Homo-oligomer: A and B are copies of this chain.
Amino acid sequence: VNRTLVRLLLDREQELRERHGISFRITGVATRRLGWIADPDGLDQAALLALSSDELPNPTRAEPALSGTEGTLAPHHPEPRDNVRDWLSAAHADVLFEATALNLESGQPAVDHIRAALEHGAHAITANKGPIVHAYRELRDLATAQGKRFLFESTVMDGVPVFSLFPQLPLIHLQGFHGILNSTTNVILSEMENGLSFDESLKKAQALGIAETDATHDIDGWDAAVKTAALITVLMDVPVKLDEIQSEGIGGLSGEAVRAGRKEDRPYKLICRVKKTASGITASVRPEQIPLTDPMAQIAGTSSYIYFETDIFPGLAITEENPGLYATAYGMLADFVRAVRPDISLR
């Protein structure tokens, strides 16, 4: 994600300056391979561009994470905590872009990185869902205390402003939601409907760059469950543990079953469902057969969908169709603008 973000930032540099009065320098990059690089005067852009295209051929092994006089990055694997602090100081970081891989159990090292950034006095922007599930309240309150922002729009629906929508819905009471939030399984199900086996579909999703080399979290439903937990935590203000979400993946579905479902006009989809109850919430992630009259039946490939149930709007749904290459990195860029130009919503 952060490699794409570097390209997107450089691509939109002029527009950021002219439309929003934002200028930035990338003053730090940290990856498992490169270590902790910092230069408060700004890293060389040509080198960054090279790094963002060829130098790091395996994005799962080396996610750069940026910092700067607006801009900073964090590493892919746990490192002694002092490294982050020293690096943030050396980079004179005003903003940390955190994009380490999801750790289901603890949210680490992302939680430590974000905490360090906020304590350092930088905004913290993450594409990692783990910290929301494991440390949302702490990080939110720390950000408030520091007068900085903790933002994570790109964690659900590739940067479509789902989290940012709700402050625009003051006094609304969210009573539940359902949707399709995991691209990898949705691509696999679409390909299985088209005649491929499960393994062939997974390989195709991997070849397209949608699924990671290890797609276990997607297939088992955990990626969708963590997104569901993040939405519950932030939008319903109900702290929820992952094991409170009944999760079932798509590994048990045969190609025959998937094709028969589509043929009967009751296609299989991996559906997240949440309902508010008197005592809290009920939540599930599981494959369901849904009728063609439900808009979810048409959500194919990398598209995603969420349907919110609220008191004023009984059904308010957002569809993201065929996100572009930049969609996830865009969520981080938009968070960057939100963080450094909070007056943007007054335009």
Which A residues have a C-beta under 8 Å from some C-beta of B? Answer: 12, 15-16, 19-20, 149, 159-161, 164-165, 167-171, 292-293, 295, 298, 303, 307, 311-324, 326-327, 330, 333-334, 337-338, 341-347
With A315-B320, A316-B318, A322-B315 already in contact, the answer to whether A161 and B171 are too (CB < 8 A) is no
Copies of this chain present: 2
B318 touches A313 (CB 8 A): no
Q: How far is the CA of A327 from the CA of B317 in the complex (A)?
A: 15
With A161-B165, A315-B321, A330-B312 already in contact, the answer to whether A149 and B346 are too (CB < 8 A) is yes
A318 touches B320 (CB 8 A): no
Whole-angstrom distance between the Cβ of A304 and the nearest chain B Cβ = 11
A168: which of B12, B149, B170, B334 is its contact (CB, 8 Å)? B334
Closest chain B residue, CB of each to CB of A334: B170
Q: How far is the CA of A160 from the CA of B168 in the complex (A)?
A: 9
Q: How far is the CA of A16 from the CA of B161 in the complex (A)?
A: 24
A167: which of B169, B292, B344 is its contact (CB, 8 Å)? B344
Find chain B residues with CB under 8 A from A292 CB: 292
B324 touches A160 (CB 8 A): no
Find chain B residues with CB under 8 A from A337 CB: 170-171
With A293-B298, A295-B298, A298-B293 already in contact, the answer to whether A168 and B345 are too (CB < 8 A) is yes
Whole-angstrom distance between the Cβ of A181 and the nearest chain B Cβ = 15
A171 touches B312 (CB 8 A): no
Closest chain B residue, CB of each to CB of A292: B292
Q: How far is the CA of A20 from the CA of B345 in the complex (A)?
A: 17
Closest 6 CB pairs of A and B: A315-B321, A317-B319, A161-B168, A170-B337, A345-B345, A164-B168
Q: How far is the CA of A254 from the CA of B140 in the complex (A)?
A: 57
Among A168, A330, A343: residue with most chain B CB under 10 A = A168
Closest chain B residue, CB of each to CB of A295: B295
Find chain B residues with CB under 8 A from A322 CB: 314-315
Q: How far is the CA of A346 from the CA of B341 in the complex (A)?
A: 11
Whole-angstrom distance between the Cβ of A347 and the nearest chain B Cβ = 5
Find chain B residues with CB under 8 A from A321 CB: 313-317
With A315-B320, A324-B312 already in contact, the answer to whether A167 and B347 are too (CB < 8 A) is yes
